[in-house]
Amino acid sequence: MACPLCHQRKARRACPALGQTICPVCCATKRLTEIACPPGCGYLASAREHPAAVVRRQQERDVAVLLPSIHHLTERQHQLFFLFHGVIARHTPDGFGRLNDADVADAAATVAATLETSARGVIYEHSAASSIAQGLARALTAMLEEIRAQGTTVYDAEAALALRSIEQGARETRKVAGDDPGAYLALVGRLLPVNRAPEAGQSASRGGQPGSIILP
């Protein structure tokens, strides 16, 4: 029986997420990106302990693409970068729209511009070009406000730097990926430990306990 994902290789592995048998190559390359693997999957646990060569090469390529946009960040700014990406990973646009790399770049740039203006003592809220990007911008702003409401000090300038790194990463990845509109989202999904759905009773803007993650 052929793999239902690639329709080329022989299906050999029972996938608990899909309820189907797929080939080892699709299992290795699509896990946690195109396939929402459950934590109890034996193949997932084995891969984390002993990643296949193809996965290691993909990780090395991903790091090489992402590193130029984040190498200059401080530890606090890295933490903000991860928290913002937690919001991005969980964000679902209103209606039938689908989030893509251009929306991520636009939203990050919009919130960063607002914060940079605020850091100069001017209150002005910038707007994103699309409704999808504007919705994500509101979610990013809400997460930042929530962290501050918990008593954690986050300066406008440092949050803006983290957002500018997200903007740069999304724009640069699009140049490398060509026609793939979701290449950056897929890349960070492979690299960053963020949850794609909030737990029951948890705010959608939170990735656990943001106030305890950001250093005071």
- Say yes or no to pLDDT of 140 above 70: yes
Residue 112: predicted pLDDT: 97
Residue 14: predicted pLDDT: 94
Let me know whether 28 and 66 are in one domain.
no
Let me know whether 32 and 88 are in one domain.
no
- Say yes or no to pLDDT of 103 above 60: yes
Let me know whether 36 and 90 are in one domain.
no
Over residues 157-172, the pLDDT tens digits come to 999 999 999 999 999 8
Q: What's the pLDDT band for 39 if we cut at 50, 70, 90? A: confident
Residue 53: predicted pLDDT: 67
- Check residues 185 and 192 and name the one with the higher pLDDT: 185
Query: For residue 106, which amino acid is it?
Result: D
- Say yes or no to pLDDT of 186 above 50: yes
- Say yes or no to pLDDT of 147 above 90: yes
Q: Which residues contact 55 (CB under 8 A, 6 or more apart)?
A: 28, 29, 47
Residue 192: predicted pLDDT: 75
Residue 197: predicted pLDDT: 46
Let me know whether 3 and 99 are in one domain.
no
How many structural domains does the chain have?
Answer: 2
What separation in angstroms does the CA of 144 have from each of 70, 115, 201, 212? 19, 11, 19, 13
Let me know whether 88 and 175 are in one domain.
yes
Residue 216: predicted pLDDT: 53
Let me know whether 117 and 10 are in one domain.
no
Let me know whether 35 and 115 are in one domain.
no
Domain carrying residue 95: 57-213
Q: Quick check: 75 and 182 in contact, CB under 8 A?
A: no
